[in-house]
Chains A and B, each alone.
Chain A
Amino acid sequence: MASSKKPNKSKIELNVTSLLDVVFQLIIFFLLVTNFSSAELPEMVVPQPVEPQSRELRDEKRVVVNVIADMEHLKSKKERANPDLVLSAKAVRVGNDNILPHEYNRLTELLEAEKEKNPDIYINLRADARIKYQEVGPVIKAITMAKVVRVNMISELPK
Chain B
Amino acid sequence: MADSTRRNPNPDDLQLVADTDTVHHQSIQQKRRKSKPKQMEELNLASMLDVCFQLLIFFVLTASFAKGEGYLPADLPAGSGSAAKEDTVPKQPLHIRIRSLGGTEYAISAGSSAPANFKELYSFLHDNQDNEAGPGIYPPDNPIIIHAENDIVWGHVINAYNAAVRARYENVNFAMPGK
Q: Which residue of A lies closest to B165 (CB)?
A: A53
Interface majority SS on A: helix, strand, loop or mixed? mixed
Q: Of residues 49 to 67 in B, which have CB atoms within 8 Å of A's CB atoms?
A: 49, 52-53, 55-56, 59-60, 62-67
- Interface band, chain B: 35 or more
Q: Of residues 97 to 154 in A, which have CB atoms within 8 Å of B's CB atoms?
A: 124, 126-134, 136-137, 140-141, 143-145, 147-154
Q: Which residues of B contact A35 (CB under 8 A)?
A: 63-66
Q: In the complex, A46→B53 CA distance in Å? A: 34
Indicate if the CB atoms of B69 and A154 lie closer than 8 Å: yes
Q: Indicate whether A49 sits within 8 Å of B65 (C-beta atoms), given known contacts A145-B82, A155-B70, A155-B72.
A: no
Indicate if the CB atoms of B63 and A33 lie closer than 8 Å: yes
Q: Which residues of B contact A151 (CB under 8 A)?
A: 73-76
Q: Which residues of A contact B153 (CB under 8 A)?
A: 86, 129-133
Q: Which residues of A contact B48 (CB under 8 A)?
A: 20
Indicate if the CB atoms of A152 and B122 lie closer than 8 Å: no
Q: Which residue of B lies closest to A58 (CB)?
A: B71
Q: Of residues 1 to 50 in A, which have CB atoms within 8 Å of B's CB atoms?
A: 16-17, 19-20, 23-24, 26-27, 30-31, 33-35, 37, 43, 45-50
Indicate if the CB atoms of A57 and B73 lie closer than 8 Å: no
Indicate if the CB atoms of A155 and B151 lie closer than 8 Å: no
Surface stretch bound by A, among B7-15, B28-36, B132-140, B155-163: B155-163
In the assembled complex, A51 has its CB within 8 A of some CB on chain B: yes
Indicate if the CB atoms of B76 and A20 lie closer than 8 Å: no
Q: In the complex, A115→B98 CA distance in Å? A: 33
In the assembled complex, A71 has its CB within 8 A of some CB on chain B: no
Indicate if the CB atoms of B70 and A34 lie closer than 8 Å: no
Q: Which residues of B contact A136 (CB under 8 A)?
A: 154, 157, 177
Indicate if the CB atoms of A129 and B158 lie closer than 8 Å: yes
Q: In the complex, A99→B57 CA distance in Å? A: 36
Q: Indicate whether A51 sits within 8 Å of B122 (C-beta atoms), given known contacts A86-B103, A147-B81, A153-B72.
A: yes
Q: In the complex, A37→B64 CA distance in Å? A: 9
Indicate if the CB atoms of B78 and A129 lie closer than 8 Å: no
Q: In the complex, A81→B129 CA distance in Å? A: 37
In the assembled complex, B118 has its CB within 8 A of some CB on chain A: yes
Indicate if the CB atoms of A124 and B71 lie closer than 8 Å: yes
Q: Which residues of A contact B174 (CB under 8 A)?
A: 137, 140
Indicate if the CB atoms of B59 and A31 lie closer than 8 Å: yes
Q: Indicate whether A20 sits within 8 Å of B77 (C-beta atoms), given known contacts A50-B119, A131-B154, A141-B176.
A: no
> What residues make up the interface of B, taking CB atoms closer than 8 Å to A?
45-46, 48-49, 52-53, 55-56, 59-60, 62-79, 81-83, 103-104, 117-119, 122, 148-159, 161-163, 165-166, 174, 176-178
A to B CB contacts below 8 Å, 26 in the list: A17-B45, A20-B52, A24-B52, A26-B56, A33-B63, A34-B64, A43-B64, A46-B67, A48-B155, A49-B159, A51-B119, A57-B71, A67-B154, A86-B153, A129-B158, A130-B153, A133-B153, A133-B154, A134-B150, A136-B154, A136-B177, A140-B83, A145-B81, A150-B76, A153-B72, A155-B71
